[in-house]
Structure 1
């Protein structure tokens, strides 16, 4: 009997919602994989080391792993109105020379932040520090950093920390490009072969559709891994990040990814990427 496929994704509600059916052997014809839960910064590193078969990573990490991993056209996170936020204690804070906490320097959030900051903070920052996602809002609140770049459910909860939304990276991106925001990508080993990659894409699509068809079926799994998240916030999270682009990137989704990586490469933030390498 073949060993199960080894996959990794985050415990965030959108990922557990998307993968629930597959992870529980509920997709006809597809064996349940062996699952590792890891936050995006960890999966980015795992992909760079080439350690697992299929992972959810940031689009900001993609240029470093495309030689070994292929981008699957489904299962990931793109969307509108769901961009990272820059949070501060004061509503009109000047970040020139300041310290900004970010969850990763290999993330879409960081790329969008740097593209925004090139225009919005021409004087530059004093320091960028990487810290775990859950520590960022308390660090801003307590004055240990001047601002924090946050993602996911933080857009629903930052008010609890008395913080202000200085800028929405997604709004800036959509205003300039008209495209959705590419956040999280699903990648799989190229060595699996094109046929197997197509099978995995079909399995992921089936898992997404199963989640939509019976959302209550995944609820216990989602909340089990949601790190004490309020169920209402988990529902908002899923509604925001699981959408038509999760089922299939399509022409607009690929255009968004290409635009992000092209702009980031022009700023020296990532290595150049041949658009053809984004399709297998």
Structure 2
């Protein structure tokens, strides 16, 4: 395995959980680690880069995009977002015209942030059980545009992620279902959201060690990353950014463990059975 000991190129989102995890690594605070060249990009973009095999050495992608990436990239056992009580939400407009039962989504237009996202897979798996007559058109839309579009009646329902969990009520929206809660009740497993992957021709053990050291530094110095996190937090209030970190950065960020890998396998196996993703060789996940 080879690795450039001087520089390492990485792409992750500007969301608080990613900037919190990678703050120390990005600022030269991890002994022995190379200089980090960071590209901040929406996960929909990094999913595409990974699928094309044209991305940087290390990427944050959705677990739903792994089937297209695993030939070139290895899943790392740390640094990502996987947990409980942190799933995507399906929202509809409030008021008397709100869709308040799953069957009410039959034939409706739904906005999603990506078709290669865990949120999308969870939505489609849930809909297969709860909307037997089928949903209508699916529109891909930047996640920060979805709630205003639902509020303004441009779409019938929206699938939201990230900090929308904390802010949707301010748009007067109704939560039709918490897809993370549904997944946990249905499987007993945590929710696999965002993965960290690295090119297979690199020293992935070294990269894993650097990421774990960066995360441990963040936990040991919880205020050190504050300015960095808030500077990339897309105008989030400090308390919302903190809630975001508290929810998405947890023990699975340090080590996926057996339950983490089981959750990833369950998601991809179910999605493949529904024809939503290509089947994955389980040996490539570890």
Q: TM-score range by the shorter chain?
A: over 0.9
User: CA offsets per residue over residues 217-247 of structure 1, 9 Å max, x none?
Assistant: 0000000000110100000000000000000
Structure 2 residue runs without a partner (length 5+): none
Q: Show the 5 A alignment for 1:30-45.
A: 30-45=33-48
SS at match of 2:189: coil
User: Is residue 2:95 matched to residue 1:92?
Assistant: no
Q: Match of 2:14, SS?
A: coil
Partner of 2:118: 108
Match of 2:52 in 1: 49
Aligned twin of 2:72: 68
Q: State the TM-score, normalizing by the size of structure 2.
A: 0.95
CA distance in 2, matches of 1:2, 1:169: 42
The answer to whether structure 1 residue 165 and structure 2 residue 175 are counterparts is yes
Counterpart in 2 of 1:264? 271
- Corresponding position: 1:81 with 2:88: no
Aligned-residue RMSD, C-alpha: 1.0
Matched, 1:7 2:13: no
Among candidates 185, 190, 201, match of residue 175 of structure 1: 185
What secondary structure does 1:186 align onto? strand
Structure 2 partner of 1:252: 259
2:212 aligns with one of 173, 180, 205 = 205
Per the alignment, residue 16 of structure 1 pairs with 19
Partner residue in 2 for 1:241: 248
**2:283 corresponds to 1:276:** yes
Equivalent pair of 2:6/2:34 in contact (CA under 8 Å): no
CA distance in 2, matches of 1:142, 1:177: 35
How far, CA to CA, are the matches of 1:95 and 1:36 in structure 2? 38
Q: How far apart are the structure 2 equivalents of 1:126 and 1:211?
A: 44
Query: Matched residue of 1:179: which SS?
Result: coil
TM-score by length of 1: 0.97
Where do 4+ consecutive residues of structure 1 move more than 4 Å? none
Measure the CA separation in 2 of the matches of 1:118 and 1:32: 46
